[in-house]
Amino acid sequence: MKKIITIFKRDLKVARRDFVLMYVIVAPILIALLLSGMAPDVAESSILIAVDNSLSESEIDILSEIAQVQVYDSYEGVVKRVSDTDDIYGIVRNNNRYEVVLEGNEAGDMQSMMRLIISYLEGDRSSWMSYHVSNVEVSLPPIVSIGSSGLIIMSIILGGMVMGLNIVEDKEFNTLSALNTSPLIKLEYILGKSILGIILPIIHTPIILMVLGIGGVSVGKTMAVIASSALFVVFVGLFIGTLGSNQLSAIASAKGMMFVFAGSVLGAIVLKSSMHFVLYWSPLYWIYQGIYKVIVDTASWNYIVISSSIVLAISVILFYVLMRYQKKHQSM
């Protein structure tokens, strides 16, 4: 245990000397701050419509119920705004008819959208069916829930990368060769190197949640997911450390590996849930899903136990394969 702590202390000392520790701790928090600044803009975004004073106050009010309306003094003002790089429709009145001004490269089915809006503008509500609106109490906008989960995943990956680069540094400066002649066994070295990487997400998670204003998250479930990711962090670090003979090849192998694993997180965000089975092989997918579900408060303990067990099982397999490779190639 003493040797493990010594290895950890040494890493901590090196990290403090080059401001690495500060950067590693501050970076995800800084990104969380940027995200929290952007979140209200994203949450409030809706259809944009530019109008001029040819539309009456009541027409503008009707449009304002379904879109963000920007009023310009003249037709030219509307045309200039529509010509801008974002998607915004123009609606003006010309010879008592509505005229829709489009740039031409708008995304989606513009024709249907415009027909809907003009029909709504011209229609009356007397023939509408009665309605009421309820919700399933998911108050966090996706940018916050997905963003915070993504940042925690980033912290996990960073933990592995820091560990991996530290190992490669030891290799480059022959510290590893020197350690091999000492009574330190390989497992102690790996555990010592892992500590920094493992504690990073533990430090980051509460701070990220706090910065993004996410309250009421189950501490137990969050920590269970983070704890299950520890072996994966060690795998990432060892993978980089094993394949990298110097920092350049370490970054190359990290890039290749992360491209594949991070792709599974992206898949979890953009794919319909019925397609998620194609991502089940990735521990990061399960970690992301666990964190996300805990944050939006839809994760049962049952789910946490199952997903964490899957993360551990896949990580053990990956670990085993890596150890076999190490043994065969004597790469550490």
Token pair in block for residue 33: 């701050």
Could you tell me the smallest distance in angstroms from the CB atom of residue 37 to another protein? 8
- The token duo for 218 is 């189950």
Specify the residue, 142 or 206, whose C-beta has the smaller distance to another protein: 142
Nearer to another protein, 186 or 256 (CB): 256
**Which residue type, as a one-letter code, is found at position 232?**
F
Distances (CA, A) of 331 to 31, 170, 174, 176, 244: 35, 13, 13, 11, 9
Nearer to another protein, 197 or 312 (CB): 197
Nearer to another protein, 306 or 313 (CB): 306
Closest CA to 24 of 218, 183, 157, 130: 157
| β pairing state of 89-94 and 48-52 | parallel
CA distance 47 to 307: 38
C-beta separation of 110 from 47 below 8 A: no
Shortest Å, Cβ 181 to another protein: 23
Query: Beta partners for 71?
Result: 51
Residue 48 amino acid letter: L
User: What is 258-312 written as a DSSP string?
Assistant: HHHHHHHHHHHHHS-GGGGGGGTT-HHHHHHHHHHHHHTT---HHHHHHHHHHHH
Least distance from C-beta 19 to another protein, angstroms? 5
Q: How far is the CB of 203 from another protein (least distance, A)?
A: 14
Minimum CB distance to another protein, residue 164 (Å): 10
Q: Shortest approach of another protein to residue 67 CB, angstroms?
A: 6
Nearest Cα to Cα of residue 332 among 199, 237, 230, 197? 237
* Cβ distance to another protein smaller for residue 128 or 277: 128
CA distances from 18 to 11, 13, 23, 196 (A): 11, 9, 9, 15
Nearer to another protein (CB atom), residue 310 or residue 312: 310
Nearer to another protein, 167 or 225 (CB): 167
β 89-94/68-72 pair status:
unpaired
Cβ nearer to another protein, comparing 88 with 212: 88
How many whole angstroms separate alpha carbon 54 and alpha carbon 229?
Answer: 60
Q: Minimal distance in Å, beta carbon 287 to another protein?
A: 18
Instruction: Please report the sign of the dihedral spanned by the C-alpha atoms of residue 126, residue 129, residue 135, residue 140.
Output: negative
Q: Closest separation between CB of residue 219 and another protein, Å?
A: 21
